[in-house]
Each structure stands twice: as C-alpha cells, then as structure tokens.
C-alpha cells in the first residue's frame, strides 16, 4: 500500500467538516486505513486523520510505543477511531507542545482538556469507549479537530509560543513534522 501525500496547511480540504462513515468492514475502509497507517509510520507521526490525505471521512488513527518526535510522551495504544465523539471529564485544560504532519517543521503550545472520554467505532464497527488523560487525550483532541477542519495553530492562544522545531528545540530528532 502506498504512502500517501499529506496535505499541508493552506489546502482548503483541511478546513472542511468530514462526513461520518456509514459502512464498516468494507474493502474501501480497510484500504484507507492501511494507507493511513503506512503514511503515519513513514512520517513518524503520532496520529493521522483521513482528511490529511484528502479523504473527507470521520476516521482517525493514532498510537505508538515510542515516538521519536515526542520522546517524552508516554505510550498510546494503536487505535483506529471512526465517527468519534469526545466528552471532556472536567474543565481542566493543560498546555502542551504540538506538531502536525500538515504543518511541517513547526511546533506550538496548545491548550487541551486534560481528561476526556472518547467513543466511536473500530474498522469492523465494534464500539470503542475509553476514558483517557495526558498525551493520549491530547492526541485524540488534535486528530478529531482535523475532522472539523481545525488545525492546531487555530487553537494557539499565545503566538509567541509557536515556531520552528529546529529553533525551539535544537538537537531534537530531525523529522519532517
């Protein structure tokens, strides 16, 4: 399966609201997910949303045991999440650095809910229902934002904390993030 081109900020397709998936366990959905995983792994991403490869469906993937781009982050289980619904479990917000494969070379500090419940479906249509916090919660919020046409720079509150990865974090692992 091919590694797909990741759309970059400025492409109007990244600003659209994606449509729900209506059929599960289909060859088309399996092929999409294979492409998404191949693309995410090739670029060392922590997650990827279907609209980032130009597919306007409510499908996100995320997870890693260890990620070179986020060396401090705890492991997040590899997850396919379709038609997600997020419910914050408290009003607590937490600032943290984010990058995005659609915004390569940059990082910014973004406030996210610290704890949340997420529900949705896997590729076969089985229900997923998890309560998570920390980096796991951050990654889910970032990916699900893509489904509503929101890129993380749109959520930065202090643009002084937005810049080039190689300048902000000299010596950090190189990566086209």
Return the active site residues: 143
Q: Is the CB of 97 or the CB of 125 nearer to Ni ion?
A: 97
Q: Is the CB of 21 or the CB of 100 nearer to Ni ion?
A: 100
CA pair distance 170, 36, nearest whole angstrom = 29
Give me the least distance between CB of 100 and Ni ion, in Å please: 3
CA pair distance 80, 83, nearest whole angstrom = 10
Q: Is the CB of 82 or the CB of 106 nearer to Ni ion?
A: 106
Q: Is the CB of 111 or the CB of 125 nearer to Ni ion?
A: 111
Helix, strand, coil content of the chain in percent (nearest 5): 30, 30, 40
Measured at CB, which residue is nearest to Ni ion?
100
Give me the least distance between CB of 41 and Ni ion, in Å please: 15
Q: 32 and 50 in contact (C-beta within 8 Å)? A: yes
Measuring CA to CA, which residue among 43, 33, 61 is closest to residue 146? 61
Give me the least distance between CB of 45 and Ni ion, in Å please: 8
Q: Where do contacts with Ni ion occur on this chain (CB under 5 A)? A: 100
Give me the least distance between CB of 47 and Ni ion, in Å please: 7
127-133: strand order across its sheet: 47-49, 59-64, 76-88, 115-121, 127-133
């Amino acid at each position: 399966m091919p590694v797909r081109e990741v759309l970059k900020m400025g492409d109007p397709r990244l600003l659209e609201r994606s449509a729900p998936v209506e059929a599960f366990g289909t060859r088309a959905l399996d092929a999409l997910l294979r492409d998404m995983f191949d693309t995410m792994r090739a670029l060392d991403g922590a997650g990827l949303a279907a609209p980032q490869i130009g597919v306007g469906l409510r499908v996100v993937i995320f997870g890693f045991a260890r990620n070179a781009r986020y060396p401090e982050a705890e492991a997040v289980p590899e997850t396919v999440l379709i038609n997600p619904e997020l419910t914050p479990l408290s009003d607590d917000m937490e600032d943290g650095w984010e990058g995005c494969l659609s915004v390569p070379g940059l990082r910014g500090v973004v406030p996210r809910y610290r704890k949340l419940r997420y529900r949705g479906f896997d590729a076969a249509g089985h229900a997923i229902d998890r309560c998570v916090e920390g980096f796991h919660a951050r990654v889910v919020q970032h990916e699900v934002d893509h489904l509503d046409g929101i890129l993380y720079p749109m959520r930065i509150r202090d643009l002084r904390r937005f810049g080039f990865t190689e300048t902000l974090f000299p010596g950090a692992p190189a990566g086209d993030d």
